[in-house]
Amino acid sequence: MDYSLDTVIEKYENIFNGIQINQVHASNVTLSEINDDEQDFSFQLSFTTPLGKLENLQYHTKIVKTGDHFQMKWDPSLILPGMEGKDKVSFRRLKAERGEIKDRLGNGLAVNQDFISIGVVPKELGQGDEEKKGFMKLVNNLTYPSMKLTKS
């Protein structure tokens, strides 16, 4: 399949911008003559994505003489190795949900739900009326009014 320059540019922009590729570095660029009308072109790329760094990706193509000028035989594998035809690349973040652990009776030991816990060190509440005021202050500042708090 032949790709126009505009198509190639659009594919690179969509993919490199879409998956937020940056810090692109080319290395081991080689160009060797096969014959008067054809050359072998290879290089390595390293770049960074939000998922981490990809290093030393291998690229390879031919440069062919057409009339009085040379053209690179371009295909999508020159964006990402192994890419073909109408392949698309996307990036999205998904929230991971951990597995739940239940005991033999089905009671949740580690479950995916909000958990609210309040700890009180009784001796830090004080004594007598001071203790009662501290306790009431704690109860009045709860953001979950359905919670019941008792002193043990």
- Residue 88 pLDDT level (bands cut at 50, 70, 90): confident
What is the fold of 5-78? Nuclear Transport Factor 2; Chain: A, (3.10.450)
81/52 Cα distance (integer angstroms): 17
Sequence ranges of the domains in the chain:
5-78
- 110-129 average pLDDT score: 78
Query: pLDDT digit string (tens) for 18-61?
Result: 888 889 999 999 999 999 899 999 999 999 988 889 999 999 99
Q: Count CB-CB contacts under 10 A for residue 6.
A: 8
Buried b (16+ CB within 10 A) or exposed e, 92-118: eeeeeeeeeeeeeeeeeeeeeeeeeee
Contact indicator for 64, 37 with CB cutoff of 8 Å: yes
Tell me the β-bridge partners of 49: 52
The residues pairing with 110 across neighbouring beta strands, listed in sequence order, are 101
* Confidence at residue 4, expressed as pLDDT on a 0 to 100 scale: 84
Confidence (pTM): 0.56
